[in-house]
Each structure stands twice: as structure tokens, then as C-alpha cells.
Amino acid sequence: MLKLPGLIDPHVHVREPGQTHKEDWDTVTQAALAGGVTMILAMPNTKPPIFNASTLDLALDSAKRKARCDYAQFLGAGPDNADAAAALAPRAAGLKMYLDSTFGELRLDDMTLWMPHFQKFPKDYPIVLHSESRTMAAGILFAALYDRPVHIAHVSLKEEILLIKAAKERGVKVTCEVCPHHLFLPSPPSPLPPGEGRRGEGRLTVRPRLATQQDVDALWDNLDVIDCFATDHAPHTLAEKDSDNPPPGFPGLETLLPLLLTAVALRRLTLDDLIQKCVINPRKIFNLPEQPETWVEVDETAEYEIRAADQFTRCGWTPFEGWKIKGKVRKVVLRGRTAFEDGKVLAEQGYGRNVRL
């Protein structure tokens, strides 16, 4: 049995408030614990989005009642909330800025709307950028101009990881995360056939898109540039994914650690890489407290297939259905109490703590 520290996932879409048919604070934290994740940072693109004191309270009230693992909640950057967001910074995981098209209402198209956030948000709390390709280059320029740390969410392209590498080498305060789906799922050859192909298409829809094998290889070739692994757990129901207008996003909390452990077994990754990128670096970047008496027991030798039917997420599917993997979470201890064991979540609703209190 292998013992690991509790994992931190800095990128989770909880869906509460507003879309609890997809997920809520109860089911998402069950999924987290089942995946060996003991702390999640929640994204603000809920309904309503989290962008001021009253919406922050709305999310945190639900979390307080229902969360089974530890958490903090991001604020979203809007066109006119820079003062409010800066004032709320100590109560939040950080500020999330959507610089590219995404699911939900938070989006800042015009660079004049970025400026007040970069000016005002305290430098000891991270700004996380949803930014792709050239928008990412603009975001990194902002980090340099305003001399403040930014964290780039879900890097997926070769040009992006190379740009971040170059920026780090020149001392720009930039860190980044990569999602398992961008490491393990290259885009399928297109176009997909009609009929069943459409269904497959919806289930492969995610932002940023799945990238080419060359992009995937570039991520693996630049592991040392990747600060964190993050799931971007973005649950939508199977009916939604198979509809004519499928929303982007994959669930990921329950497959993160098994996929990474399989990569360790295949010697694509070391256990030390895994701990650095899933525990040590996110703690440092997001200024998170240590969780005392918290660990994950893993059976490294267990071989099995990923099944949506075994998962706790409410969305009811996984893009990794049927994948053969090696490494199973047996037990999770969170702050001295067994929170998950042998397939059962034991931590009650409300056991999770807001780490920003």
C-alpha cells in the first residue's frame, strides 16, 4: 500500500448555485474524496456567477452545509467588479478571469476590462487566467507589465507551453496547470462520421479543445514547465453531452489519480512529479494551508477498468470509460478521520472546511 498526501485540485466546476442537476457541493466533494482529492478550489462560472459579496455568500453557504472535503471558492472577474473583488480577496481562492469564450456568463473581451483587475487584485492572491493561444500571450504580458503572479489554467498547446517556458526563463511570474484529458486524449481524426459520430463529438467537446498528438507530446516533453495537474472537472449530464448543442467539459475528479498512477507505472512520470504537481506546487501557488493528519492510501498494483457506474459525480459519464488503469484509491484520511474507504464515502456533509476562513 502506497501512502500519498491528500491531493489538491485547483480547478473544479461545482455547479452550485444554479445547476445542481449536473453536480452540487455534496456530489462533487464525494467525487473528490473517491479520487484521493482532499481540497478543491471552486470555479465561479455558476448561475449566478460568483462576482460579489452576496453571490460569494451564496456559494459558501451551500459549501458549508454540504461539502465533505476542504475547499475555497474563486471570484469571477466581471466588467465592473474590480473594487469589490479586490476587497473580497482574503475570503476567496483567488480571481478567475475568462479571457476566451467559455461556458457561462463571465467573459472579458476588451483588454481595458483586464486592467483594473490587474491593478487592484492583491498580489498575494493568485489571478487565474482562462486564456488560450494569443490571448495567453497577452495575459503573460499583463503579468510582466503589472509585475504580479498569474496562473494559466488548462494549458493544452505546444505553442502555449513553450511560451510559458520562455516567460519563466525571463523571470515573469507565471505558473500553469495541465489537465489529464489534454495529457491522455489527443483529438480524434476529423471529420467524425455522421450519426453515432455526432454523439461521440458531444462527448469530446471541451474548452480548450483536445489538441493534436504533437501538442500532447510537447506537454509530456515539458513536464518540468508544468506546475500543477488540475482536472477542470466540468460535469454536464450525458443527455446534455449527447444533445444537438453539447456544452463543453469533462468530469475528472475520480480519474485524475488513477490516470497519473498508471503513467507512473509506465515510467512516464515519477511519484515525486505527481506529489509536486498535485500537492506541493498548488499549495504554494494558491497559498493554501497544510491539511494535518491527511493522507491517501493507494493500491499501486490494482488493475481495473474505469466505469462511470462506479463514480460519485452526478453527471453519469466519463470520457475515460473502459480505460484499463493501474492504481486504486483504497482509503482517504482527512484531518484525522477516515473520509473514504473501500468504495464508500464516510465523511458527512458539512465536514469540509473553507480553507480561507
Query: Which residues form the interface with Zn ion (CB under 5 A)?
Result: 232
CB of 24 or CB of 232, closer to Zn ion:
232
CB of 177 or CB of 232, closer to Zn ion:
232
225-246 burial code (b ≥16 CB/10 A, e <16) = bbbbbbbbbbbbbeebbeeeeb
CB-based contact 30:348 (threshold 8 Å): no
CB-based contact 155:179 (threshold 8 Å): no
CB of 203 or CB of 335, closer to Zn ion:
203
CB of 187 to ligand DOR, least distance (A): 14
Region label for 164, one of left (φ > 0), alpha (ψ between -120 and 50) or beta (otherwise): alpha
d(CA 338, CA 294): 9
Q: How many degrees, rounded to 5, is the angle at CA 15 between CA 12 and CA 17?
A: 130
CB of 251 or CB of 327, closer to Zn ion:
251
The interface partner of residue 45, options being ligand DOR, Zn ion, none and the CB cut-off 5 to 8 Å by kind, is ligand DOR
The interface partner of residue 175, options being Zn ion, ligand DOR, none and the CB cut-off 5 to 8 Å by kind, is none
The interface partner of residue 30, options being ligand DOR, Zn ion, none and the CB cut-off 5 to 8 Å by kind, is none
Query: Which residues form the interface with ligand DOR (CB under 6 A)?
Result: 13, 45, 102-103, 130, 206-207, 234, 247-249
CB of 234 to Zn ion, least distance (A): 6
The interface partner of residue 103, options being Zn ion, ligand DOR, none and the CB cut-off 5 to 8 Å by kind, is ligand DOR
d(CA 199, CA 72): 35
CB of 40 to ligand DOR, least distance (A): 14
The interface partner of residue 206, options being ligand DOR, Zn ion, none and the CB cut-off 5 to 8 Å by kind, is ligand DOR
For residue 202, give the amino acid letter.
G
CB of 144 to Zn ion, least distance (A): 24
CB of 5 or CB of 316, closer to ligand DOR:
316
CB of 138 to ligand DOR, least distance (A): 17
CB of 169 to ligand DOR, least distance (A): 28
For residue 240, give the amino acid letter.
E
DSSP class of residue 250 equals: B
d(CA 316, CA 330): 22
CB of 215 or CB of 232, closer to Zn ion:
232
Which residue, among 342, 345, 347, has the nearest Cα to 330 in the 3D structure? 342
DSSP class of residue 113 equals: G
The interface partner of residue 62, options being ligand DOR, Zn ion, none and the CB cut-off 5 to 8 Å by kind, is none
